[in-house]
Amino acid sequence: MPLSRSVIKMRLAQAACLDGSVSKHLVRQVFSCAASRCSAAVARGLDAPPQPVVIRVPRRAQERVEDVKRVRRKNLARVPTAQAGKLLIKSKNPVFNQAVGYTLGRFEEPMLTSKGWKNNKSFGDYFSINSTQSVPLFITEGKDGTKEDRHDQTGRRGTFGALHLCTELVETLQSHNISHPTTVQKQTIPKLLRGHNVLCAAETGSGKTLAYLLPIIHKLRQEMPPEEIMDSERKTRAVVLVPSRELAQQITLVARAMSQPFRFVTKVVGGGRGVGSIKAAFCHGQPHILVATPGALLKALWRSYLDLHEVHYMVVDEADTMFDPSFVGMLEEILLQTQVAASLSETEGLIRKAQLVVVGATFPGGVGELLSKVTDLGSMLTVKSRMLHYLMPHVKQTFLKVRSAEKVLELHQALKEVAPQQKGVLVFCNKAPTVNWLGYALEEMGLRHVRLQGQMPAAMREGIFRNFQKGLVDVLICTDIASRGLDTQRVGLVVNYDFPESYTDYIHRAGRVGRAGGSGAGHVLSFVTYRWDVDLVWKIETAARRRMALPGMETQIHKPSTKSCS
């Protein structure tokens, strides 16, 4: 006897349920509907009329079956996060390991090792973000992010000569074993040579100092006849502003080395040494290039040791610190006294104005406000590196959840394990008293070190960093004053004894290893102790797993919003 449609639907539903392709709930619905029709027909005493068998599975059921199949296929295709091979993230608990080849889906929530780190039971847990590159990207990368392999017309591959810098400069660079420009240098030097105001944002250690110094020295040499260079009545033509005395000294050394063939005079003035030291910098006339901290420069201006109207190049280095509230007032006063060019034509000719270069890795919100007071923001060209605000892929970074009382022991252990070829170690604390206290603790353990923090008298600070750079001592305990700009090629390990209070501080501290011209290798070890540290660690771990930039960091200058009158 032919089966009625209701009976067929019931059997199909049963089969689908056994197959597991649709939910039992859906089968029950189809089943009860068909059964009620069946029983209604029996109740009416009707036998089902013979009909051709048409099997109709409800459309909704078909769609659900397809959905279930699709999800199953996707789950089978998914690469498990914990697997053999090179690991991007290595955790104490291997469940949280992430392979280098694994890419998180756009909407997929990453499984974080640090997720439970607000819980007291998590002390002792750790994870490492392994290095995935042996050489920093800013060395190998081309303009468009590809590996650089282009040649100029003369066949020179990515050389400083190809950037049209004068021969003496190229030879001086070669004598310092610097032959190929980094990405930021390739992008910044031509713009500065053409006379543009430039805002240069690139990752730590990528060679920003040479990116602005080389074109400035090249142009100074073009603008000045030799007799003017030797003239004792010379004028200061280039000013480099930096936030700390140590950085000022470092940049002065680079400027002197690069300008040595042209006999330019470079002088440094920094705060904390009294007016006498500032006067001394000008006693034999104005230097051609002046490297200064804002406070010291203002003192020199108040005493009329120089006139900023005569300056042709004004550089603001370490912009994120220079535009923060502790410096911004002084910076504004300095920039307002400088006649900054508002267009390309104003950077040429006899009555020329100053070319402005703002350099840094992050730009706080107020940058646009201040710059728009001194120049036309539209005239500024921006150079921004592709990997800006990414965690450095060539540096291993380890995060350890550790109790406050155990940090000294962990540090002692880490210092003992430092490889002999990577001698220099930087230990960062958030506060000056912690630097002092930790110093005493390490002294008791018999570990040689030096300390550097902002509350030290200038005379004590003098030379500490230079001695560390020279290798006279291997461990430097410091606050964030050593995290900005200081070139630390010999450093192999950075320890965040106190977890940094912001991403910016984390990026700058970590940036003391893996610098251009260095060995490339390095390790950052961060102690995570407090609940408020964990919020930052979550975001850093998420950025690493997603291979994205750290969130919420400014890289653009924004024009100030115009207030509407009501």
Ligand X SMILES: Nc1ncnc2c1ncn2[C@@H]1O[C@H](COP(=O)(O)OP(=O)(O)OP(=O)(O)O)[C@@H](O)[C@H]1O
Nearest C-alpha neighbor of 383 from the set 225, 158, 194, 161: 194
| Least Cβ distance, residue 254 to ligand X (angstroms) | 7
Beta strands in 431-543 (DSSP E): 450-452, 475-478, 491-496, 523-528
- 113 vs 504, which CB is nearer to ligand X? 504
Contact 138/202 with Cβ under 8 angstroms?
Answer: yes
- 181 vs 368, which CB is nearer to ligand X? 181
* Dihedral sign, Cα of residue 278, residue 280, residue 285, residue 287: negative
- 207 vs 215, which CB is nearer to ligand X? 207
| Least Cβ distance, residue 495 to ligand X (angstroms) | 18
- 170 vs 528, which CB is nearer to ligand X? 170
| Least Cβ distance, residue 201 to ligand X (angstroms) | 10
| Least Cβ distance, residue 119 to ligand X (angstroms) | 36
| Least Cβ distance, residue 297 to ligand X (angstroms) | 19
Q: How many angstroms separate the CA atoms of 556 and 358, rounded?
A: 12
Q: How many angstroms separate the CA atoms of 291 and 256, rounded?
A: 11
| Least Cβ distance, residue 129 to ligand X (angstroms) | 20
Report helix, strand or coil for 56: coil
Q: How many angstroms separate the CA atoms of 111 and 166, rounded?
A: 53
- Which residues are CB-neighbours of 379 under 8 A, at least 6 positions away? 196, 197, 341, 342, 343, 344
Residue 140's Cα: distance from chain center in Å?
17
- Which residues are CB-neighbours of 352 under 8 A, at least 6 positions away? 312, 341, 346
- 242 vs 374, which CB is nearer to ligand X? 242
Nearest C-alpha neighbor of 254 from the set 522, 1, 487, 17: 487
| Least Cβ distance, residue 187 to ligand X (angstroms) | 13
Residue 486, class by beta-carbon neighbours within 10 Å (0-12 exposed, 13-18 middle, 19+ buried)?
buried
| Least Cβ distance, residue 208 to ligand X (angstroms) | 4
Distances (CA, A) of 34 to 16, 69, 179, 469: 15, 25, 82, 85
* Alpha helix stretches (DSSP H) within 136-207: 137-140, 167-175, 183-194
- 195 vs 514, which CB is nearer to ligand X? 514
Taking the CA atoms of the chain, what radius of gyration do you get in angstroms?
32
- 185 vs 347, which CB is nearer to ligand X? 185
Measured in degrees and rounded to the nearest 5, phi and psi for residue 424 equal -65, 135
- 454 vs 517, which CB is nearer to ligand X? 517
Characterize the bridge pairing of strands 523-528 and 491-496.
Answer: parallel
- 208 vs 237, which CB is nearer to ligand X? 208
| Least Cβ distance, residue 153 to ligand X (angstroms) | 21
| Least Cβ distance, residue 488 to ligand X (angstroms) | 8
197: Cα within 13 Å, side-chain hemisphere = 25
| Least Cβ distance, residue 518 to ligand X (angstroms) | 7
Beta strands in 67-181 (DSSP E): 87-91, 98-99, 126-129
Contact 544/129 with Cβ under 8 angstroms?
Answer: yes
- 92 vs 180, which CB is nearer to ligand X? 180
- 281 vs 319, which CB is nearer to ligand X? 319
Question: Please, what's the b/e burial string for 289-327 (b: 16 or more CB within 10 A of its CB; e: otherwise)?
Answer: bbbbbbebbbbbbeeebbebeebbbbbbbbbbbbbeeeb
Q: State the CB neighbour count (10 A cutoff) for residue 411.
A: 24
| Least Cβ distance, residue 360 to ligand X (angstroms) | 8
List residues binding ligand X (CB under 6 A).
Answer: 178, 180-182, 185, 204-210, 361, 485, 487, 489, 511, 515-517
Contact 527/498 with Cβ under 8 angstroms?
Answer: yes
Q: How many angstroms separate the CA atoms of 199 and 557, rounded?
A: 9
| Least Cβ distance, residue 219 to ligand X (angstroms) | 19
- Which residues are CB-neighbours of 522 under 8 A, at least 6 positions away? 394, 395, 396, 422, 491, 492, 493, 494, 513, 514
- 31 vs 428, which CB is nearer to ligand X? 428
- 92 vs 423, which CB is nearer to ligand X? 423
- 100 vs 135, which CB is nearer to ligand X? 135
| Least Cβ distance, residue 162 to ligand X (angstroms) | 13
